[in-house]
């Protein structure tokens, strides 16, 4: 005889706490590769701001590698850095995907998973925790609201 178990209740979802907002100023994209209907371009990051629990300036020199896929989705991988108001350097790697637009969906809105590195002892929490980003791309900049995932 088979024993029937009641379905387990779904676990509680983690909460999100706003950590910072990054506004990365960008230059026009530079197409670098086409494979079939896929197109890869590099979007230079030229500066910007960081506000919230951390504040500072995005430094020029980073970039976002953006691949437009044949199915209408995008894959983005940005690598850049910022200097906090106190002078600390924070390295950022931010990977995301943009699904093809659904009816009523805002174009350019996407989710990402930013990761941080820094030597600053006061900012080690950035290197020890998980973050998600809600980003929106505009012509001259991308705004990323970064949230810490908390249990």
Whether residue 1 lies inside any domain: the answer is no
Supply the DSSP symbol for 128.
H
Whether residue 9 lies inside any domain: the answer is no
* Calpha distance 11→128 (Å, rounded): 23
Structural domain for 121, as ranges: 15-150
Give this prediction's pTM: 0.88
CA angle centred on 44, ends 98 and 78, rounded to 5°: 45
Nearest residue to 74 (alpha-carbon basis) of 38, 32, 45: 38
* Calpha distance 17→4 (Å, rounded): 39
The pLDDT profile of the chain, 151 residues, written as one tens digit per residue, is 666 676 788 999 999 999 999 999 999 999 999 998 999 999 999 999 999 999 999 999 999 999 999 988 889 999 999 999 999 999 999 999 888 765 555 566 889 999 999 999 999 999 999 999 999 988 899 999 999 999 8
Residue 22 belongs to domain with CATH number: 2.40.160.20
């Amino acid at each position: 005889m088979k024993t029937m178990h009641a379905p387990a209740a779904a676990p509680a979802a983690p909460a999100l706490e706003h950590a910072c907002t990054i506004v990365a100023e960008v230059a026009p994209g530079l197409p670098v590769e086409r494979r079939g209907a896929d197109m890869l371009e590099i979007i230079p990051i030229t500066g910007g701001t960081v506000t919230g629990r951390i504040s500072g300036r995005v430094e020029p020199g980073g970039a976002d590698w953006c691949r437009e896929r044949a199915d209408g989705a995008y894959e983005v991988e940005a690598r850049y850095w910022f200097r906090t108001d106190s002078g600390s350097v924070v390295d950022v790697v931010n990977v995301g995907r943009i699904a093809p637009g659904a009816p009523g969906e805002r174009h350019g809105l996407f989710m990402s998973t930013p990761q941080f590195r820094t030597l600053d002892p006061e900012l080690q929490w950035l290197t020890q925790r998980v973050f998600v980003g809600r980003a929106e791309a505009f012509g001259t900049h991308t705004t990323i609201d970064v949230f810490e995932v908390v249990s």
